[in-house]
Chain A
């Protein structure tokens, strides 16, 4: 069996801001951008070089989930505390410097760990990510 990820959801505080961050600052490609009759915007972007993966940038809202859940998720996003995932880089220090210049906030500077060199950054949309440079394979 072969199964690959085609769509993955990323909750954000504000889709418009997320567009700026992911497309204008991080170089993602706009994949689908449709505003539906009910006012909801279906916005997916693809990481550079991976047009087959669509990251759905979504603001938590009903009817997707109950109002109480929306409140909880929004609270996590407001605290910039949603764990987003891990980004791979071939040069953590360089990526750190470039992203700092673009205004990204870092929670951890590039630091040597047993699994590589890692920095932690916030996307400014409610999520934080690891930015990791793996050691060369032996």
Chain B
């Protein structure tokens, strides 16, 4: 790896660290560019080339992952989850969630609870034994 590539990797790691720790807040592209010491154009181009997704796509994915976790495991309301993962509009959150996961947040939550409470209803009996779920 050349010195230039090495510096680029370090810059992207810094930007990723900011996104990973601050995804629930107001993050704009200029903040990330400053963190990476890149121009806006160079940052987006380099990010996409290395990570095969744009900074915006990466951020949305982080937010959706956290939303899935909270919907499945917490008692927080969907509105609170929407704000907790960095959205300020329930409508945008719901439609993006549906596009990303395939279900609206409320349906995803209901399915997660049902699956956790009644797993036998969702897993064929042969697999139940084969996967060692019996014990």
Q: Are A63 and B103 touching (Cβ within 8 A)?
A: no
CB distance from B19 to the nearest CB of A (A): 15
Tell me if A69 counts as interface (CB < 8 A to partner B): no
| A34-B116, A40-B132 as given contacts; A103 in contact with B52, CB under 8 Å | yes
- Please give me the 8 A-B residue pairs with the lowest Cβ-Cβ distance, nearest first: A29-B102, A103-B52, A63-B132, A32-B122, A34-B115, A36-B133, A34-B119, A64-B130
CA A46 to CA B111, docked complex, whole Å: 15
Chain B residues, Cβ within 8 Å of A63: 130-132
Residues of B contacting A: mostly: helix
| A32-B122, A33-B115 as given contacts; A38 in contact with B133, CB under 8 Å | yes
| A24-B100, A38-B135 as given contacts; A32 in contact with B130, CB under 8 Å | no
**Mask: chain A, 80-119; 1 = CB below 8 Å from B; 0 = not:** 0000000000000000000001110000000000000000
Tally of B interface residues using CB under 8 Å: 25
CA A103 to CA B111, docked complex, whole Å: 31
**Mask: chain A, 7-43; 1 = CB below 8 Å from B; 0 = not:** 1000000000000100110001110111011101010
CB distance from A16 to the nearest CB of B (A): 10
**Mask: chain B, 104-135; 1 = CB below 8 Å from A; 0 = not:** 00001001100110010011100100111101
CB distance from A61 to the nearest CB of B (A): 9
**Mask: chain B, 88-112; 1 = CB below 8 Å from A; 0 = not:** 0000000000001111000010011
Tally of A interface residues using CB under 8 Å: 23
Q: Are A30 and B101 touching (Cβ within 8 A)?
A: yes
Q: Are A28 and B102 touching (Cβ within 8 A)?
A: yes
Chain B residues, Cβ within 8 Å of A56: 127
Q: A38-B135, A42-B122, A42-B131 are in contact. List 9 more A-B contacts (CB 8 A).
A: A23-B102, A28-B102, A29-B101, A30-B101, A40-B133, A63-B132, A102-B52, A103-B51, A103-B53
